[in-house]
Every structure is written in C-alpha cells, then in structure tokens.
Amino acid sequence: MENLDDFIDQSVPFHIVVQYYFVFIPEIIRLMLPVSVLLAALFTAGRMSNLSELTAIKSSGISLYRYVLPFLVTSFLISILAIYFGGYVVPLANKHKVYIERTYMKKGIVRTGSNIYFQDSPTRIVAIDYYDVINDRANGVSIVEFSKSDLTKMISRIDARKMTFDTTKTVWILQSGVKRNFYSNFENVVKFDTMIVDSLNFVPQEVIKKQRKPEEMTLSELRSYAVDLQKTGSDPTRIYIEYHSRIAFAFASFVVVLFGLTISASKRSGGLAVQFGINILLTFLYLVFMKISQAFGKNGVFDPLITAWLANFIFLIGGIINLIRVRK
C-alpha cells in the first residue's frame, strides 16, 4: 500500500509489481527470522513447561543446561546460515528491487548535489550528480585538477552537463560544459559543446559501483567500499556499521532464543500466551536497542564494531544471568 501511488503514477506494469514484491521477500525473511526462531523455540519450551514435562526432565536428573543445549545449537546454526543469507542473498535481491525503484518508480534518483565523489588520481577529484545506468551516462560532472607540487592549489576545473564513455577508444566524452584554467594572476574560461578526456582512470562499472546503496552490496563489497572510502579521505563509519551490523543481526536468533527460553522455562500465570507476549516484547526491545545504538555509532559516539554488537552483548549477558538464576 505504501508504494501504490508510485505504481499508479508511473504506470508500472503488473508483472514488474509482482517482481518488485518477489525480490522484496528475502529482506522480509531476514528481518522476521529472529522472531520466527524465537516463536518456534517458545512454542516447544512453553508447551513442555505447561504440561510439566520440564519438571519431569529436571527430576530425572537432566540439567537445565542440557535441556536448552539443542535449542541453542539449532539457533546458532541458523545464525551462521543467516550471515550468508543476509550478507549475499539479500543484497542480490535488493539490487533488483532498487533497479525497479529507479527505473519504473523514479525513486532514489539524486538530482541535486554530488551523489558520487571520489579521487581519480593523486591530483584529481571527480564529482558526479547521478549516473544513469539505463542510458550509460553521467549527469552533472565536475573534474578538479590540483598542482602536483602544491595539492592545495587548484589549476583547472571542468564542469559538464553530461559525460559518456566511448568503449572503442576507452575515453570519456564531455558535453555542454566549461573548462577553467587557473593561473597566478588570471583565469582562462573556455566553453565547449564536446570535449574528449583521455586522462581519466575510471570506467563506467566503477562509477556504478560507487553509486550503489549499501543495501545492494554484499559483505565483501561493503568491506571493499569502506576501504576505498578510507583511502580517499572520506568517512567510512556508516559503511563499517552496516558491515558489522549485518553479522551481528544474523546472531539475533541465537541471542533472543537464549534470553527467551530462560523466561519460558518456568511456569507463570497466563500460560503460553503471556509467555509469547513477554518474549515478543523483549525481542522488539532488543531490535529497538540495536537501532538506537546504531544511531549513536553513526554520530561518532561509538566505534562501529561496538555499535553493531552492543545490543547482542547486553542481551547475551542478560540471558546467561537469567539462565543461571532459573537453574537455581
């Protein structure tokens, strides 16, 4: 329903709408996996507790640790699989989802400001407003050249409305722009309709890669992108947070099962429904806490690694303490 207006306004074909929600499924699975695993564990443990089967297990000499071990091993294996699923399968699906949003729904297209900004050489900075993947064309291009002897001194700047890549000659062609050469006492301005630039070191595939959203990148690509940002002097904090958060979130299933099982291991008034309600509430508190810690990390308060794993660490400690308390 959220996208209904966009589908109607842009006259998106029905089969594209079906594709959009089909490739959206992996992201929903990733988000709902911890809750699903928790519900499965609670349904099993809660029924055993309410039917006094847990009491029988304890009285037969089997410890609570041995009782929860199969749950924890299973949820841990699910978490390991979730790292691959969330780190590689989901980004591939998101890539097609974003493509549909940009191509058919006209969403996520940056029309003002520099969407892509990178260092092409030790003395050259390139800024591109938006790279049109469909037409294979860069829009709103600025190329700034600095002096080799003094990197604080700008010697030239080219601004062009469009830029395309000639694959046969492996050169970039700029259109409708102006070039400024800066000298000690004056500036030379030259307008042009077309200009061939053969000194640029990047190709369209590299530009497209820089334009991709973090949600479209696999774990390997995220890490590589963060390193590239660091090399060019940009702040890679948000990318590192995204990288570590994907791994940390994959272990949410293990954490919530450990925390939730200890609550369901003892009988309480209200039965299984109350236990479900309490644990679902705690699960969403865990997810909210994770989002809050990410907000602090993106503002530079926490280290990216601490930001991603803080919620897991706190709730894991809480689960272990609760497990010891219930055993007693």
Residue 267 pLDDT: 54
Cα(first)–Cα(last) distance of the chain, in Å? 50
User: What is residue 147's predicted lDDT score, i.e. its pLDDT?
Assistant: 92
Say what the pLDDT of residue 173 is: 96
CA-CA distance, 293 to 297, in Å (whole number)? 6
- Which amino acid is present at 83? I
Q: How far is CA 90 from the centre of its chain?
A: 10
- Phi then psi dihedrals of residue 300, to 5 deg: 85, 10
Q: In sequence order, which ranges of the chain are alpha helices (DSSP H)?
A: 4-9, 14-50, 53-59, 64-84, 90-103, 204-211, 219-231, 237-250, 252-264, 271-298, 304-327
Q: 206 Cβ partners below 8 Å, 6+ apart?
A: none
Evaluate the CA torsion angle 215, 219, 225, 230 in order and state its sign. Answer: positive
Instruction: Kindly give the parts of the chain with pLDDT less than 70.
Output: 108-114, 232-233, 264-272, 275, 327-328
pLDDT at 24: 93
Query: What is the distance between the alpha carbons of residues 58 and 66, in angstroms, rounded to a whole number?
Result: 10
At residue 265, the pLDDT reads: 60
The DSSP symbol for 212 reads: S
How far apart are alpha carbons 288 and 254 in whole angstroms? 17
Quote the tokens at residue 183: 């000298």
Pick the closest to residue 221 from 84, 88, 66 (CA basis): 88
Give the CA distances from residue 208 to residues 131, 134, 144, 191, in Å, rounded to whole numbers and listed in that order: 7, 11, 20, 28
- Rounded Cα distance, 219 and 216, in Å: 10
DSSP lists the bridge partners of residue 166 as: 171
The structure tokens listed for 125 are 């900075």
